[in-house]
Amino acid sequence: MRRKLNFGEIISCMFYKTKRILLAVAASFIVVTSQAQSVKSDSTVIRQIFQEALTKGKSYENLRYLCTQIGPRLSGSEGAAKAVAYTKQVMEGYGFDRVYLQDVMVPHWVRGDKEKAAIISKKSNVSVPIRALGGSVGTGKKALSAGVIEVKTFEELKALGREKVQGKIVFFNRPMNPAYIETFQAYSAAVNQRSSGAVEAARLGAVGAIVRSMNLFLDDFPHTGGLRYDESVTKIPAAAISTNGAELLSQQLKENPALQFEFKMNPQTLPDAPSHNVIGEIRGSEHPEEIIVVGGHLDSWDLAQGAHDDGTGCMQAIEVLRLMKVLNIKPKRTIRAVMYMNEENGVRGGRQYAEQALAKKEKHIAALESDAGGFTPRGFGIEASPTIVNQISKWQYLLAPFGLNDIGEGHAGTDIGPLKNDNIALIGLKPDSQRYFEIHHAATDTFDRVNRRELELGGASMAALIYLIDKYGL
């Protein structure tokens, strides 16, 4: 695209000059009003937030460190401990009013070192990449080898019955439905295979479960993620298979329904380990007892750097407070950035935060979470009373110029869920969702998949909304 090479050139010249004049005017305006902040219009403040984020934002460089120098940080791991120390240090460096850790005991699951590609056919040497699902038991000292039953739904599995399932590995192969515009809907409609497949299979006597990765694209990366066992049902080993691997396995089963699938893994669940939520806050000037929380989760799956899930959310939460501080926005209420620990396999951090808030009788008026990737922000999903949803939606005219058109009821966030009550607004940043399930919980969730502008726009969007909530209340 070339766009207006002739006429546009003249325009852009004029535009550039006009802009310089406008900037000069704006600069003097800032000087005049710096002692009288209330004079500034909301649109001026929001414009400044976005300008600062896009020109001098820090979340991208902070994320680079978290991803490339610390990397994976599953609860209980050394990476998680380093991430706690790092984010505390970053917030202290920005001079927030208070930065502290909140103790929390977390599950401690480790993958082990025996995990190997699964063998589909020994004869023709066909193998595919798999990865244990988070929380899975191992296969024992030997590899697990058994026949395979492919199903798409739990109903189909139940219809097969114990006779056909006993002693088999159940292969759950219902793809995410690509027809959804919002990819999280496709995830919601497919993820029960991963979270409950092992239990449902074991109920009928299966010896293992293989789950097609929660991925909207065909590639070779297994996507892990949490599973749940039922204490009344035998725990069987369960692993994710890449989408290409799932296609191949399905094809091979058509050719040879009696094929033997073989895989080995030795994950372990260790005793619960001590860890922390990391909290930074700017104290409110008028109502310090009223709290607005903004956050993401600090833990991440062990296969990658946890860039989009959820390094971005943590760095954006810190950025919200930094933007307010550097732009001299003095909130009436206390604004807290919380890096929750253990979203991925327990939500212990989110629960602990809510329990402590209750114990201390803290009044939270809103909680905002960013945990859907660091992509271009499109709006906010809100879980609250219709009155509150309506009130937030009314600010859309202030936010739409920044691409935030999609504001209304919707999923907020897993970590802030435990804070739910009748008066609080739980809010989730809603970024563009198209690329998320290419990298989610897989080795591909790395820093190089994050675009600087998209990430900084997300932090600015969160800061703009927090600014409005703080100024007008809910």
Please report whether residue 343 would count as binding a second copy according to CB under 8 A. Answer: yes
- Give residues with Cβ within 8 angstroms of 300, minimum separation 6: 72, 73, 74, 306, 309, 310, 311, 344, 445
CB of 342 to a second copy, least distance (A): 10
Q: Rounded to the nearest whole angstrom, what is the least distance from the CB of residue 414 to a second copy in the complex? A: 6
Q: If binding is defined by CB under 8 A, does position 465 make contact with a second copy?
A: no
- In the three-class reduction of DSSP (H, G, I as helix; E, B as strand; rest coil), residue 251 is classed as helix
Shortest gap between Cβ of 104 and a second copy (angstroms)?
17
457 binds a second copy (CB under 8 A): yes
Q: Which stretch binds a second copy (CB under 8 A): 46-54, 269-277, 332-340, 354-362?
A: 46-54
User: Which residue is listed with tokens 């600069």?
Assistant: 27
For 272, half-sphere exposure in the C-beta direction (CA atoms, 13 angstrom radius) is 11
Structure tokens at 118: 């699964």
306 close to 315: Cβ distance less than 8 angstroms? no
Catalytic residue, chosen from 343, 344, 438, 454, is: 343
Q: In the bound complex, what is the minimum distance in angstroms from residue 325's beta carbon to a second copy?
A: 20
Query: How many CB atoms lie under 10 A from the CB of residue 101?
Result: 16
From the list 223-231, 286-294, 319-327, 358-366, the region that binds a second copy by CB under 8 A is: 223-231
Angstrom distance (rounded) from CA 344 to CA 131: 16
- By CB under 8 A, tell whether 13 contacts a second copy: yes
Q: Look up 343 and say whether it is catalytic.
A: yes
Work out which of 262, 281, 309, 383 binds a second copy, going by CB under 8 A.
Answer: 309
CB 135 within 8 A of CB 342: no
φ, ψ of residue 296 in degrees (nearest 5):
-150, 180
394 counts as binding a second copy under rule CB under 8 A: no
Instruction: Work out the angle at residue 196's Cα, subtended by the Cα atoms of residues 193 and 201, and round it to the nearest 5 degrees.
Output: 85
Residue 401 contacts a second copy per CB under 8 A: yes
Of 31-39, 142-150, 180-188, 253-261, which part binds a second copy (CB under 8 A)? 180-188
Q: Which is nearer to a second copy, 171 or 436 (CB)?
A: 436
Residue among 186 and 365 whose Cβ is closer to a second copy: 186
Task: By CB under 8 A, name the one of 49, 70, 119, 190 that touches a second copy.
Answer: 190
The end-to-end CA distance of the chain, in Å, is 45
SS3 of 347, please?
coil
Applying CB under 8 A, among 25, 54, 159, 358 the residue interacting with a second copy is: 54
CA distance linking residue 406 with residue 430, whole number of Å: 8
DSSP of 367-399: EEE--S-SSPEEEEEEES-HHHHHHHHTTHHHH
Interface pattern 16-45 for a second copy (x via CB under 8 A): xx-x--------------------------
Residues designated catalytic: 343
Residues that bind a second copy (CB under 8 A): 1-6, 8-9, 11-13, 15-17, 19, 50-51, 54-55, 153-155, 178-181, 183-184, 187-192, 195-196, 216-217, 225-226, 228, 309-310, 343-344, 371-373, 376, 378, 400-403, 405-406, 411, 414, 432, 434-435, 438, 440, 451-454, 457
